[in-house]
Structure 1
Amino acid sequence: MQCRKFSKQECHDLLVKRMAHYDQGNEACVKNWSTLPVETRGAFNSFSYNVGNGAFCGSTAARYLRSGNIAAACNAMLSWNKGTVKGKKVKLPGLTKRRVVERNICLRGAA
């Protein structure tokens, strides 16, 4: 396959389409999804984009969302900051930063 350059608009359109996929997946496992604040949904769509809908749907965060405890759900994202390095689970600084940003956006909706 030949290398191809994408315009900013094409990249934006692809991202919007991909995020819609994660939004639909999250809605399928959190029945009250459409009633959640937009900030909360956005943060968890970003989270699912990174970990996958299956991991999100089986997570403690999703369980908290289903029970209506948004703040606990937002905080539960923070534990998803590890990766495997040389066969061992370790905290990754970049992933820790990402989770803090996602949590902070998420909590704006819980206020």
Structure 2
Amino acid sequence: MTDATIKQRLIAKIGAGSLALLVPLVMFFEGTVTKTYKDPIGVITACVGHTGPELKIGQTFTPEQCQEMLYADLLKHSSDIDCIKRPLTDGQKAAFISFGFNVGKEKLCKSTLAKRANAGDMVGACNELMRWTLAGGKELPGLVKRREAERKLCLT
């Protein structure tokens, strides 16, 4: 699937406004590293937060490959918010997809955040993001900043 086709599918799924908010948010907080590395909890990662069984330490990627992986990952994670049955604003979609990208669909869907959103308490759901600042049992300053940005976007 080409990069343009993936973008079109993303726009169809979450809307152009959500995508315009989501891409820079994820890119800023994930960063772009064109070789594989271990993240703070030891998961092999590459490019813009991409993880998967195909990755091995020592691999390198072009910026174009990284962009393609990012859009494919965002398309995959766009379904993470399907467990939230209430209408979402562009900011809420972007914030919750970024959160799912970072913690995974299962954690998002089983979270108090999803329960609050489904109960119609969107402010409470957005505020729940701030409870997710730990990795490997330690609070990470980068996660605190990411959650603050997601929360702000969610509340707008």
Shorter-chain TM range is: 0.7 to 0.9
Write the deviation string for residues 8-55 of structure 1: whole angstroms up to 9, x where unpaired.
4x433321221121111321x1122xx210110101100000100000
Give the residue type in structure 2 aligned to 1:19: L
Aligned with residue 73 of structure 2, among 15, 18, 39: 18
Cα distance in structure 1, aligned partners of 2:60 and 2:131 = 37
- Tell me how far apart the structure 1 counterparts of residues 122 and 135 of structure 2 sit (CA, whole Å): 25
CA RMSD of aligned residues (A): 1.8
Matched residues, number: 100
The yes-or-no answer on 1:81 pairing with 2:133 is: yes
Identical-pair percentage: 32
Of 114, 122, 126, the residue aligned with 1:70 is: 122
Gaps (5+ residues) in structure 2?
1-55
1:94 aligns to what? 142
Q: TM-score when scaled to structure 2?
A: 0.58
Structure 1: which 5+ residue stretches go unaligned?
none
User: For the residues of structure 2 that align with 1:25 and 1:14, how far apart are their CA atoms?
Assistant: 17
Structure with the bigger RCO (C-alpha within 8 Å, sep 6+) is 1
TM-superposed CA distance for 1:7, in Å, is 3.2
Q: After superposition, what is the alpha-carbon deviation per residue over 1:48-94, rounded to whole angstroms, capped at 9, x for unaligned? A: 0010000000001011111121111111010100122xxxx332111
Residue 84 (structure 2) aligns with: 30
Whether 1:104 aligns to 2:152 is yes
Alpha-carbon contact 2:133-2:144 (below 8 Å) kept:
yes
**4+ runs deviating over 4 angstroms:** 1-4
Asked if the contact 2:80–2:108 (Cα under 8 Å) also holds between the matched residues in 1, the reply is no
Which one-letter code corresponds to 2:88 in the other structure? L
